[in-house]
Amino acid sequence: MALDLIRNFVGGEYLDGGSGFDNINPVDGTVVSSVMEADRGIVEKAVAAARKSLSGPWGRYTASQRAAIMRRIAERIEARSEDLLRAEIADTGKPEALARELDISRASLNFRAFADIIASSGADSFLTEFADGRRALNYALRKPLGVVAVVVPWNLPLLLLTWKVAPAIACGNAVVVKPSEETPSTATLLGEIMKEAGLPDGVYNVVHGFGENSAGEFLTKADGVDGITFTGESSTGSAIMRAAAPSVRPVSFELGGKNAALVFADADIEKAVNGLSRSIFTNTGQVCLCTERVYIQRPVFEEVVAGLVEKAKMLKLGRPTDPGTTTGPLISQKHRDKVLSYFRKAEDEGGTAVIGGMVPEMPAELANGSWIMPTLWTGLSHDSSPMREEVFGPVAGLVPFDSESEAVRLANDTRYGLAASVWTENLERGHRVGAQMNTGISWVNTWYLRDLRSPFGGSGLSGIGREGGKNSLHFYTEPTNICIKLSEEEAL
Ligand code: NAD
Ligand code: 6OD
């Protein structure tokens, strides 16, 4: 189901009001829906509705009651998965199989995982014993932050939204979500699903619009927001940090990446090429974890390049529902202009596109889509802009190296620190090199394999903090330590 009119969702109701903007299908440039942009008043109403829910029954739910409602949300997501799938595809143009297997299935998994995590979480406690015999029991209660602003991007819209909303409500918060202006639909449908699951009104709210001088900025600056969790570009992270500064709000940021893959001569080359191809081209390269720099040990350089070119040739661009489509368009013409600017920079800075490097010829009915050819460059120096700046498209620079230490140095020579992958059949090397990566995650002989209990995030320009498992519980709660005197003697 693709919605024609996308409205803000506040206090359990869809609101009329706000001016409209078009939601464009990147496959063919047609208008999917009209979106009601929230003005400052609507954003303030959403924050007020969230705050009100905290002093209602929601504020008294136990962890196991919250876990139960989250499992119902997961069930309702599964029951409405076709609606969510159609909406996600219409907004993003991504292949149906990818949306089904990654985006929609992770949405329910996010709720199930954090239901389990909150249901089994306990309080940190310490039995304190002093040398003079005094004793005390310390235990830390974790209280919700309160109203959490959730600002998310367009590349994995429902996955990234629920990755934040699930732990936030598991911890007893209320949320106001600002989805990307490019992908407003699934966040909106989730409002209905939350009601169907019995989540009290006001715990989940959605405001639509853009960033600066629109819903994003209004929300991150609104009085009554107690914390901000954000996924998106590093430069937007800086702007949000400035918005959070005056009231010293906690922030959790998952930002951009310039992720490296290191392919050693002792790798299983066929498996490495398969994995690398997935890591470069999945979602048309629009995953923050995608590889954009591939360092290949010299003896296998030509073989890996040839293998990746063959893989790129096998990709099939097309409509999300066409059989065999592997690759959708970029999200917008604006984003394609950005990616194309890197095609020009690559040429100017000495690179050669061994495949791609241009806009593909598409059938007439898709000519207004944001199509781009999967592209691989050789000959780029490590210091060139396509090797240093995040492109966020189906592109990678392929560069040879000689020694392990050189590969580690090149991979770490970046201001980003999100993800890396290491391809080797040498177990010791896998552990050793993986541990030397200055990234939030290092995969060895795989890519984007996730355990939701493990820490996730990045350093440097790639983010602040970690979410996942108890890391999420730490961000979305404030501890209060209770200290109970157990002995007769008072301290001091
Ligand atoms: P973006 O930063 O342009 O937008 C993200 C969200 O922030 C949108 O909802 C947007 O409307 C909002 N926004 C923009 N300016 C704002 C402002 N001044 N105040 C408040 N909100 C504002 O990012 P994008 O183009 O939507 O997504 C692509 C980027 O996201 C890439 O850089 C990618 O690497 C990054 N990303 C990172 C992760 C991660 O986990 N590290 C995951 C997905 C995407
Ligand atoms: O898998 C996740 O939990 C996650 N946050 C992925 C981020 C992908 C970036 O585009």
Q: What is the pLDDT of residue 488?
A: 76
| Single-letter residue type at 402 | D
Please report which confidence band the pLDDT of residue 489 belongs to, taking 50, 70 and 90 as the band edges: low
Ligand 2 pocket check: which of 92, 108, 156 to mutate, most ligand atoms within 8 Å of Cβ? 156
Ligand 2 pocket check: which of 152, 254, 446, 453 to mutate, most ligand atoms within 8 Å of Cβ? 254
* Number of the ligand closest to the Cα of 110: 2
Q: How many residues does the chain have?
A: 492
Asked whether residue 377 carries a pLDDT value surpassing 90, the answer given is: yes
Percent of the chain with pLDDT over 70: 99
What are the pLDDT digits (tens) for 11-36? 999 998 778 999 999 999 999 999 99
- Which token pair is 361? 């010829």
Distance from residue 155's CA to the centre of ligand 2 (Å): 9
What are the pLDDT digits (tens) for 387-443? 999 999 999 999 999 999 999 999 999 999 999 999 999 999 999 999 999 999 999
The pLDDT of 329-355, averaged and rounded, is 98
Asked whether residue 243 carries a pLDDT value surpassing 90, the answer given is: yes
- Domains defined along the chain, listed by start: 5-255+462-480 (3.40.605.10), 259-444 (3.40.309.10)
- Contact between 446 and 275 under an 8 Å Cβ cutoff? The reply is yes
Ligand 1 pocket check: which of 288, 336, 472 to mutate, most ligand atoms within 8 Å of Cβ? 288
* Helix H or strand E encompassing 456: strand 456-457
Sign for the pseudo-dihedral over CA of 475, 480, 481, 482: negative
Q: What is the pLDDT of residue 1?
A: 54
Please report which confidence band the pLDDT of residue 2 belongs to, taking 50, 70 and 90 as the band edges: low
Distance from residue 153's CA to the centre of ligand 1 (Å): 5
- Which token pair is 56? 């209602």
Asked whether residue 282 carries a pLDDT value surpassing 60, the answer given is: yes
Please report which confidence band the pLDDT of residue 255 belongs to, taking 50, 70 and 90 as the band edges: very high
Residue 127 CB partners (closer than 8 Å, separation 6+): 135, 136, 137
**Smallest CA separation from ligand 2 atom 5, residue:** 160
What are the pLDDT digits (tens) for 57-101? 999 999 999 999 999 999 999 999 999 999 999 999 999 999 999
Out of 5-9, 18-22, 37-41, 165-169, pick the least confident.
Answer: 18-22
Region of 132 (left: φ > 0; alpha: ψ -120 to 50; beta: rest) is alpha
What are the pLDDT digits (tens) for 127-147? 999 998 999 999 999 999 999
Pocket-forming residues, ligand 1, beta carbon under 6 Å? 151-155, 160, 178, 180-181, 210-212, 216-217, 220, 231-233, 236, 239-240, 254-257, 288, 390, 392, 418, 458, 462-463
Q: What is the pLDDT of residue 490?
A: 62
Q: Whole-number mean pLDDT of the chain?
A: 97
Helices (H) and strands (E) in the chain, counts: 16, 25
Residue 213 CB partners (closer than 8 Å, separation 6+): none
Asked whether residue 253 carries a pLDDT value surpassing 60, the answer given is: yes
Task: Give start and end residues of each alpha helix (H) in 11-149.
Answer: 40-54, 63-79, 81-92, 96-98, 105-119
* Helix H or strand E encompassing 475: helix 469-475
